[in-house]
């Protein structure tokens, strides 16, 4: 019998639980959950504010998940020390949890730069957890003027979620464009116009340098009056537990494709982990939900004595605002193939005879066929790329490949 | 487990499977009422290449990347069948981003839908198979990829 301990209770933890239980239905699993909530869909907090989901539907695996998986969950507890030599985790209330195999899936925390005068702002919120969203909901009125720091995925989804509930939403970012981590200039500009048409305001290439209660003094010299401030500047991996125990940490906890850290019997997964990104052939934190599940599940299978390896992890995002979807994957280098209309952009990037990445805005049909070409590193010489450029279709594969894909169990 | 397969050499590209699918999942008793003069949103679609047509619907993968990627926990696997809980779906399109077969697409309200083998609608068995005039689409048990 083993004794599994999981630090964290997000999607990586759920993936780990399901991975363990696919092989080991007997051994005990203890989950240490800082948040006092059952595992929920973190990216849905903006949809909650938008009225598109509710707390019950946001439960990732529905009611009764832990009972079904035979797990013990310690809600409201935090792991403060890892002792890998004696295979124990110490919690904030002094509890010692012995483990045979440990997963650290501690997620990430908002990074808040030391803005001058930030402490004078009364109504300020982060936007990472359901409790953040519930607190923000309480702080909003239909007359609120909201300033959001950060035009990335979190800041903009938050902006979309609250736009119809408040008087005004202004988003600022030091970057010169929206969604700068996933969109190039022209694609960002198309998305920004769409967001502006729905009423969002932007201050780009600009950031607050000082706050005085309800006023932000910007780098550009402008001032912004606001009632509610939302901080969505960025996140940092929660890697301290492993780092303090002597494990290898870079931007995140370093893991190989089996999710093993440098410490024996310690695994890491999700936003706190830095694993192989096959699109660049290097380690990288891929803080996206699918990757959290893939990594957690891989770790779980291995913790239970199986052999799983995550070899095809790549950055990929599907993010929509008011009906316009942007899908991105891989890296944007190499030769560019492009199609544009007034409301859509398709950009495919090829290099070394492979599809390396894409940006699709407003033209997402069957995009997974493109994604699979990147993940599988399919040589474009084996497909009809002329047909594929035009639209994502499996008809571009050879009849032999199609027979494999569609003729049997996959 | 029985799945839907297409023999592409027999597919005529007539698109009848798309209509039968849309009707079977419409919940309406009459095909004319259900489909006439309306855009249809079938869960199977005909792919057309050079000199080839074939129908594509969910493969019900052994290791379903859509289920693992769904940010809303709306996709699940029950008895081998990949199902979507449309009540949980928030239309983020992540499943569209990852499905290698292009087997998920939104319904008329923008909510994702996919083939669930007609096991829970009035057809009771895959309507695309039942209505295929050339028996190009079949519902049968097959082993590993041939």
What pLDDT score does B143 carry? 76
CA-closest candidate to residue A129, choices A146, A108, A150, A103: A108
Class of domain A3-108+235-303: alpha beta
| Residue-wise pLDDT tens digits, B59-94 | 999 999 999 999 999 999 999 999 999 999 999 999
Asked if B125 reaches chain A (Cβ–Cβ under 8 Å), the answer is: no
The CA distances from residue A153 to A180, A279, A297, in Å, are: 9, 21, 25
As given in the structure block, the two tokens for residue A231 are 């901080």
Contact check, Cβ <8 Å, B71/A44 = yes
Asked if B108 reaches chain A (Cβ–Cβ under 8 Å), the answer is: no
Q: How far A43 CA lies from chain B's nearest CA (Å)?
A: 7
Average pLDDT, whole number, for chain A?
Answer: 97
Q: How confident is the model at residue A64 (pLDDT cuts 50, 70, 90)?
A: very high
Contact check, Cβ <8 Å, A290/B69 = yes
Contact check, Cβ <8 Å, A327/B97 = yes
Q: How confident is the model at residue A44 (pLDDT cuts 50, 70, 90)?
A: very high
Neighboring chain A residues of B99 at a CB cutoff of 8 Å: 366, 368
Contact check, Cβ <8 Å, B68/A15 = yes
CA-closest candidate to residue A270, choices A3, A2, A17: A17
Q: How far apart are CA A205 and CA A183, in angstroms?
A: 15
Q: Which residue from B71, B102, B146 is facing A408, i.e. has the nearest CB?
A: B146
Across A246-250, A351-355, A402-406, B126-130, least confident range: A402-406
A289-303 vs A11-21: helix axis angle to the nearest 10? 30
* Residue of A161, A366, A390, A394 to mutate when probing chain B, most B C-beta within 10 A: A366
Q: How far apart are CA B93 and CA A268, in angstroms?
A: 27
3-state DSSP call for residue B19? helix
What pLDDT score does B144 carry? 53
Concatenated DSSP letters for A282-337?
EEE----HHHHHHHHHHHHHHHTT----------EEEEEETTEEEEEEE---SEEE
Q: How far B30 CA lies from chain A's nearest CA (Å)?
A: 30
Extents of the domains making up chain B? 1-57+117-146, 60-114
How many C-beta neighbours within 10 Å does residue A236 have? 16
Query: Given phi > 0 = left and psi -120 to 50 = alpha, else beta, which region is A150?
Result: left
Neighboring chain B residues of A396 at a CB cutoff of 8 Å: 49
How many residues are there in chain B? 146
Phi, psi of A270 (to 5 degrees): 90, -155
* CATH for the B60-114 domain, from 3.30.530.20, 2.30.30.230, 3.30.70.20, 3.30.230.10: 3.30.70.20
End-to-end CA separation in angstroms for chain A: 33
Q: What ipTM score was computed for the predicted complex, to two decimals? A: 0.96
As given in the structure block, the two tokens for residue A75 are 């809600």
Contact check, Cβ <8 Å, A387/B50 = yes
Residue B112 near residue B91 (C-beta atoms within 8 A): yes
Nearest residue of chain A to residue B102 (CA atoms) = A366
In this prediction, residues A225-235 reach a mean pLDDT of 97
Extents of the domains making up chain A? 3-108+235-303, 118-231, 323-406
CA-closest candidate to residue A301, choices A1, A4, A94, A74: A4
Where do runs of H (alpha helix) occur along chain B? 16-24, 31-35, 65-69, 94-98, 127-130
Residue A149 near residue A231 (C-beta atoms within 8 A): yes
CA-closest candidate to residue B65, choices A51, A108, A118, A310: A310
| Residue-wise pLDDT tens digits, A139-166 | 999 999 999 999 999 999 999 999 999 9
How many C-beta neighbours within 10 Å does residue A218 have? 16
Q: How far apart are CA B116 and CA B114, in angstroms?
A: 6
CA-closest candidate to residue B76, choices A293, A162, A242, A158: A293
Phi, psi of A174 (to 5 degrees): -65, -30
What pTM was estimated for this model as a whole? 0.97
Q: How far B77 CA lies from chain A's nearest CA (Å)?
A: 12
Contact check, Cβ <8 Å, B93/A327 = yes
Residue A391 near residue A370 (C-beta atoms within 8 A): no
A80's CB contacts (< 8 A; 6+ apart) are A90, A91, A92, A241
Class of domain A323-406: alpha beta
Q: How far apart are CA A58 and CA A171, in angstroms?
A: 26
Residues in chain B, pLDDT under 50: 145-146
Same CATH topology for B1-57+117-146 and B60-114? Answer: yes
Contact check, Cβ <8 Å, B72/A44 = yes
A84's CB contacts (< 8 A; 6+ apart) are A245, A246, A247, A263, A264, A265, A266
Q: Which residue from B5, B72, B93 is facing A364, i.e. has the nearest CB?
A: B93
End-to-end CA separation in angstroms for chain B: 16
What percent of chain A has a predicted confidence (pLDDT) above 90?
Answer: 98
What pLDDT score does B146 carry? 43
Q: How far A218 CA lies from chain B's nearest CA (Å)?
A: 33
Q: Which residue from A52, A369, A399 is facing B100, i.e. has the nearest CB?
A: A369
Q: How far B108 CA lies from chain A's nearest CA (Å)?
A: 13
Q: How far B29 CA lies from chain A's nearest CA (Å)?
A: 30
pLDDT value at A10 more than 90:
yes
* Residue of A39, A64, A298, A318 to mutate when probing chain B, most B C-beta within 10 A: A318
CATH number of A118-231: 3.50.50.60
Containing A17, the helix (H) or strand (E) segment is helix A11-21
Nearest residue of chain A to residue B69 (CA atoms) = A290
According to DSSP, residue A4 is labeled: E
Q: How far apart are CA A127 and CA A177, in angstroms?
A: 20
Contact check, Cβ <8 Å, A367/B96 = yes
Asked if B8 reaches chain A (Cβ–Cβ under 8 Å), the answer is: yes
Same CATH topology for A3-108+235-303 and A323-406? Answer: no
Q: B1-57+117-146 domain in CATH 3.30.70.20?
A: yes
Q: Which residue from A294, A325, A407 is facing B93, i.e. has the nearest CB?
A: A325
B116's CB contacts (< 8 A; 6+ apart) are B43, B58, B81, B82, B83, B84
Contact check, Cβ <8 Å, B8/A61 = no
| Residue-wise pLDDT tens digits, A352-371 | 999 999 999 999 999 999 99
């Amino acid at each position: 019998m083993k004794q599994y301990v999981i630090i964290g209770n997000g999607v990586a933890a759920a993936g780990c639980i399901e991975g363990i239980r696919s092989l080991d239905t007997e051994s005990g699993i203890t989950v240490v959950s800082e948040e006092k909530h059952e595992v929920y869909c973190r990216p849905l907090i903006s949809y909650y504010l938008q009225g598109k989901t509710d707390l019950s539907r946001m439960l990732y695996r529905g009611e009764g998940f832990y009972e079904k998986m035979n797990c013990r969950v310690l809600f409201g507890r935090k792991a403060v020390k890892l002792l890998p030599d004696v295979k124990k985790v110490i919690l904030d209330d002094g509890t010692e949890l012995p483990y045979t195999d440990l997963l650290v899936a501690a997620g990430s925390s908002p990074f808040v730069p030391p803005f001058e005068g930030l402490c004078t702002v009364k109504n300020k919120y982060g936007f990472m957890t359901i409790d953040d969203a519930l607190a923000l909901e309480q702080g909003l009125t239909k007359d609120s003027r909201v300033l959001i720091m950060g035009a990335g995925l979190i800041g903009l989804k938050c902006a979309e979620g609250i736009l119809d509930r408040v008087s005004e939403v202004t988003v600022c970012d030091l970057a010169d464009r929206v969604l700068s981590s996933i969109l190039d200039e022209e694609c960002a500009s198309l998305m920004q116009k769409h967001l502006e048409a729905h009423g969002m305001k932007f201050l780009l290439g600009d950031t607050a340098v000082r706050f005085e209660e309800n006023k932000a003094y910007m780098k550009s010299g402008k001032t912004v009056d606001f009632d509610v401030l939302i901080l969505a500047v960025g996140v940092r991996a929660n890697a301290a537990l492993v780092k303090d125990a002597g494990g290898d940490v870079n931007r995140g906890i370093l893991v190989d494709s089996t999710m093993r850290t440098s410490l024996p019997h310690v695994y890491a997964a999700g936003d706190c982990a830095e694993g192989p990104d096959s699109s660049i052939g290097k380690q990288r934190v891929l803080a996206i939900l699918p990757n959290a599940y893939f990594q957690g599940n891989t770790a779980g299978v291995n913790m239970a004595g199986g052999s799983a390896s995550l070899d095809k992890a790549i950055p990929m995002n599907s993010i929509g605002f008011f009906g316009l979807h942007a899908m991105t994957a891989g890296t944007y280098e190499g030769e560019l193939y492009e199609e544009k209309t007034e409301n859509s952009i398709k950009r495919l990037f090829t290099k070394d005879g492979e599809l390396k990445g894409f940006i699709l805005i407003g033209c997402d049909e069957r995009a997974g066929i493109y994604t699979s070409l990147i993940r599988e590193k399919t040589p474009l010489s084996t497909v009809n790329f002329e047909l594929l450029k035009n639209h994502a279709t499996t008809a571009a594969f050879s009849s032999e490949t199609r027979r494999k894909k569609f003729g049997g169990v996959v | 487990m029985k799945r839907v397969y297409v023999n592409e050499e027999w597919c005529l590209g007539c698109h009848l499977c798309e209509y039968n699918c849309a009707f079977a999942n419409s919940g309406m008793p009459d095909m004319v009422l259900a489909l006439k003069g309306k855009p249809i949103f079938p869960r199977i679609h005909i792919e057309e290449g050079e000199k080839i047509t074939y129908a594509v619907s969910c493969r019900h993968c052994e290791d379903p990347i859509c289920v693992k990627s769904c940010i809303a926990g709306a996709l699940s696997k029950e008895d081998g069948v990949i199902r979507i809980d449309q009540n949980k779906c928030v239309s983020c399109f992540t499943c569209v981003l990852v499905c290698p077969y292009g087997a998920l697409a939104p319904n008329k309200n923008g909510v994702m839908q996919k083939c669930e083998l007609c096991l829970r609608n009035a057809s009771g068995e895959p309507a695309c198979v039942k209505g295929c005039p050339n028996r190009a689409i079949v519902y049968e048990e097959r082993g590993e990829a041939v």
